[in-house]
Amino acid sequence: MVTTFSTMIKSVNPATLEELAEVRVPSSDVISEAIKVSRKAFEKWSGLPLKIRLDNIENFQQLLITQKDEIARLITLESGKPLLESYLAELTGPLDTCAWLVKEAEKLLANTNIDIATPLLWGKKHYLRYEPLGVVGIISPWNYPFSIPVMTMLMALAAGNTVILKPSEKTPLVGLKIGELFKQAGFPEDIVTIITGGGEAGEHLAKADLARLIFTGSLNTGVKIINATAPNVTPISLELGGKDTAIVLPDAPVERTAQAITWGAFTNAGQACASIERLYVVRGGNSELLINRIVQLVSKLKVGDPLLETTEIGPLIDVQQFDHVVNLVEQAVSAGAKVLCGGEKISSPELRDKGLAGYFYQPTVLINVDHNMRIMQEETFGPALPIMIVDSEEEAIKLANQSTYALTASIWSANLTRAQLIASKVQAGTVFINDCLYSHAVAELPWGGLKRSGFGRSHSRFGLLDLVNIKHISVDKISWLPRLWWYPYHSSKLKTVRCGLDYMHKKDNKLASLCGFIANLTKRQ
């Protein structure tokens, strides 16, 4: 059946609300055809020597570095993040992924021998081959529209897969630019396909018979992806939302901790899956000074045109996201939270005069919050930091773990031993000590969460191995010896097996068991 989707989507600059372009959305039959073509292209691409695939990746790296200014500007124009963040959070990860793959992929994807201890398997060789899977679908969000898909695309392509990317409908131009870059880098036709469009296009892709689907986005859509992929039993990874915590101990140094937490809560206007969205400050020591310093720093953040080099906070992506943040802050305040700074829409004449008609929200800090408030439970995805003062580390850990999400967390203390002990008790995919958030941009480090933050790991060797079939090959090198588990069954075989098990697992009489095993093995099989 051919489903026709809305044929055009608009790309809008969230800072000015100006339309940047209209982008065509393919119909479902075009998407189905693209998957078929990608499957065909896979046959050739997967057969190429890894070295050739890595040459393409090296070309891509050079292209990225040459075009970095143009790409960073486009990311800022379409997503609204400050320019510095477009370089640091969007380009470093893909560039480092290229460098890492070129250096390490041959080693990581080389066959691995497995030594087996049991004498029952003497004479066999076991090894693993890491084989490409086929067509890998990637559905990605708007908040990091470049780094999120590109880091996974590079790994999928290096491993020999072909890729179909469905970028967010809010950042289609960045999606199309990604496709253009892969083409310019010399990747053969149909190895990378970009399907622009919204949820319907994503759903159509998710329902297709893909070799794997990597989804990054909200919890709600993640559940839809589980349902859409179930009939084909398509293997999926889900990178979903977060409600990430920071736990600050009384001995944490005030200035450094306040600077870092302010960044962790407000970078990308709080629209990061791993933004600090709950801050638990353990009472005593520096706790009051720290909260005061955070409020000072947040009050001074420069909100405005994200293309300016000094802007620190851009707009929220759209009115829905803006309304969501307003609602959460209002609900918290009506339930007793106190606003320490911010808490309002920014409608300064200065912004309007510069044509900044987008949805800017004052960086906001709240105190007197509790877990009955929505802002301590739901993902905020905006520039609002709720702070709770707690009496002990144990209370902080308990509250930190009282969430349906578990993506990242951070612990702040001068005592690294103590901080690491707390890290072991906090539920998360990553726990940072005295820093936060940054590791998404690091190719070598695994990324992913627990609970409703999803499952699977991207980046690192774990992310790479998620994109291959780990094929075990078993070779029997002894042609004269029938195996013990084959027919016929008889008593000397039984004795051999019993002696073999004793040799492997009994603490004493090892030598006798081994002798019994060998003696029986050579009897009539």
Contacts of 309 by beta carbon, 8 Å cutoff, 6+ apart: 83, 84
Choosing from 188, 198, 235, 250, the residue that interacts with ligand NAD (CB under 6 A) is 198
Residue 46 to residue 366: CA distance in whole angstroms: 53
When the beta carbons of 82 and 304 are compared against ligand NAD, the nearer one is: 82
Residue 141 interacting with ligand NAD (CB under 6 A): yes
Name the residue number minimizing CB distance to ligand NAD: 202
Would you list the DSSP string of 200-226?
HHHHHHHHS--SEEEEES-HHHHHHHH
How many other CB atoms are found less than 10 A from the CB of residue 360?
A: 23
Residues near ligand NAD (CB under 6 A), total: 33
Contacting range for ligand NAD; rule: CB under 6 A; set: 5-13, 120-128, 235-243, 506-514? 235-243
Exposed (0-12), middle (13-18) or buried (19+): which is 402, by Cβ within 10 Å?
middle
When the beta carbons of 110 and 226 are compared against ligand NAD, the nearer one is: 226
Residue 202 interacting with ligand NAD (CB under 6 A): yes
Cα 277 off chain centre by: 18
Residue 168 interacting with ligand NAD (CB under 6 A): yes
Q: Which of 41, 9, 236, 43 is nearest to 142 (CA)?
A: 9
231 token code pair: 């009939």
Residue 149 interacting with ligand NAD (CB under 6 A): no
Residue 312 interacting with ligand NAD (CB under 6 A): no
Choosing from 16, 27, 28, 221, the residue that interacts with ligand NAD (CB under 6 A) is 221
Residue 267 interacting with ligand NAD (CB under 6 A): no
Residue 244 interacting with ligand NAD (CB under 6 A): no
Can 273 be counted among the known catalytic residues? Answer: yes
Can 330 be counted among the known catalytic residues? Answer: no
Minimum gap (Å) between residue 242 Cβ and ligand NAD? 5
- Per-residue binding string, ligand NAD, 423-452, x by CB under 6 A, is --------------------------x---
Residue 324 to residue 151: CA distance in whole angstroms: 29
Residue 161 to residue 34: CA distance in whole angstroms: 15
Place of tokens 């802050």: 329
Minimum gap (Å) between residue 372 Cβ and ligand NAD? 22
Contacting range for ligand NAD; rule: CB under 6 A; set: 24-32, 81-89, 197-205, 299-307? 197-205
Choosing from 76, 216, 311, 364, the residue that interacts with ligand NAD (CB under 6 A) is 216
472 pairs with which residues across the strands?
128
When the beta carbons of 199 and 446 are compared against ligand NAD, the nearer one is: 199
Q: Which of 4, 27, 36 is nearest to 164 (CA)?
A: 36
96 token code pair: 């480092």
Question: In angstroms, how far is the first alpha carbon of the chain from the final one?
Answer: 60
Minimum gap (Å) between residue 320 Cβ and ligand NAD? 9
The secondary structure of the chain in percent helix, strand, coil, rounded to multiples of 5, reads: 45, 20, 35
Residue 53 to residue 50: CA distance in whole angstroms: 5
> Choosing from 78, 85, 169, 239, which is the catalytic residue?
239
Residue 218 interacting with ligand NAD (CB under 6 A): yes
Minimum gap (Å) between residue 316 Cβ and ligand NAD? 11
Contacts of 73 by beta carbon, 8 Å cutoff, 6+ apart: 83, 86, 307
Choosing from 83, 139, 426, 464, the residue that interacts with ligand NAD (CB under 6 A) is 139
Contact 202, 220 (CB under 8 A): no
Minimum gap (Å) between residue 169 Cβ and ligand NAD? 5
Residue 93 interacting with ligand NAD (CB under 6 A): no
339 pairs with which residues across the strands?
366
Residue 458 to residue 446: CA distance in whole angstroms: 6
Q: Give contact residues for ligand NAD (rule: CB under 6 A).
A: 139-144, 148, 166, 168-169, 198-199, 202-203, 206, 216-218, 221, 224-225, 228, 239-242, 273, 379, 381, 407, 449, 453-454
Catalytic residues: 239, 273
